[in-house]
Amino acid sequence: MIKDAVFVYSEDQMQYKFNDDHPFNHLRLRLTYDLLLSLGVIQEDDILTPRMATDEEINLFHDDAYIEAVQAAGKGTLSEGIAANYGIGTEDTPIFKNMHEASALLVGGTLTAVDAVMQNKAQHALHLGGGLHHGFRGRASGFCIYNDSAIAIEYMRRHYGARVLYIDTDAHHGDGVQWAFYDTPDACTLSIHETGRYLFPGTGSVNEKGQGQGFGFSINVPVDAFTEDDSFISCYETAIEEAAAFFKPDVILTQNGADAHYYDPLTHLSSTIKTFEMIPRLAHKLAHKYCGGKWIAVGGGGYDIWRVVPRAWSMLWLEMINRQDLLKHPIPPQWIETWQEQSPHPLPDKWTDPEDMYEHIPRQAEITGKNEKTLEKSLYYIRNEKKTKK
């Protein structure tokens, strides 16, 4: 019998670690896994151990010279000058020991998830170690070395002949994945993110729609800073539904960065945990409506690793196994006891956020109106294409 979902996980993935002061911290994986264990919703036979991606697989997207540079950097044999050409050894993406192996294991995890779904071992697969959406063909960027999602999309095209709809809800634009498929109609990328006006990487405007044969297959919804739940969710819901109806995917790959939350130290959106409950709920519905359930979810950003990420990412798994009923209960006290001492903030004891988490700003109606106009522009092309086809 086909399983509802598999969870791709190994503690070895925490070896993707730049340094102790870096905001990217894969202790998040352990915190989430431990929360799911405390809930009693993950069994041994739900877990798949990630495999290591081969150089050939990484090469589905990345240049040979770049892979060689990452390998040399991880062995300590790459000069600073050459490293800079590849975006490594920077403040965002410093060199660390065995960085190639650690990065290849994250790619392999996403491929493990892909194979489980495409070979009908499970309807859905979750790999929280992936989602490194800023990696470019020949350059590291924004904490990302290898772009597991871009590799996975190309892998699904070649091995399974699949048309992939990629949905990215990280607060940062999913630039690496977008540019990877900018000129092809075989993959559709949709990114909803905080506008690039003040935020890395600065791209992701409504005008980035793809080029050549790929025109229309890149969709961007850049929402305003301080956007709250209702507006974010409404833009997301409309955009993913219309994109799926337009593109008719065989499989959905979602990138689930958890950095659109108000507490996130690197971004300026005002989502609460409610947004992270709705994101997988709507993606799940879409996967069953269009893809016979085929849905792979990966992680991504998320820099409040204590109060936000474990809850947000657990909600993905609870959605996949249809156990959202557990969200009515408190957070298991043993999870709080285990981790409270290490956390700089009091850990949440509920799945919801407090009503008074932040002061609502009077400008909210204006922001919502602006987002509605943005969404119109984002979907203008596919709405008109549909009309002319009829």
Residues of the shown chain interacting with Zn ion in the complex, contacts defined by CB under 5 A: 170-172, 257, 259, 301
**Min dist. Cβ of residue 181 to Zn ion (A):** 19
**Min dist. Cβ of residue 232 to Zn ion (A):** 14
Options 134, 173, 261, 284, the catalytic residue: 173
**Min dist. Cβ of residue 193 to Zn ion (A):** 8
**Min dist. Cβ of residue 142 to Zn ion (A):** 8
Active site residue 173: yes
Determine the residue with CB nearest Zn ion.
301
**Min dist. Cβ of residue 369 to Zn ion (A):** 25
Nearer to Zn ion, 154 or 170 (CB): 170
Nearer to Zn ion, 249 or 257 (CB): 257
**Min dist. Cβ of residue 4 to Zn ion (A):** 28
Q: CA–CA separation, 317 vs 388, rounded Å?
A: 40
Crossing angle between the packed helical segments 273-290 and 229-247, to the nearest 10 degrees: 10
Residues classed as catalytic? 173
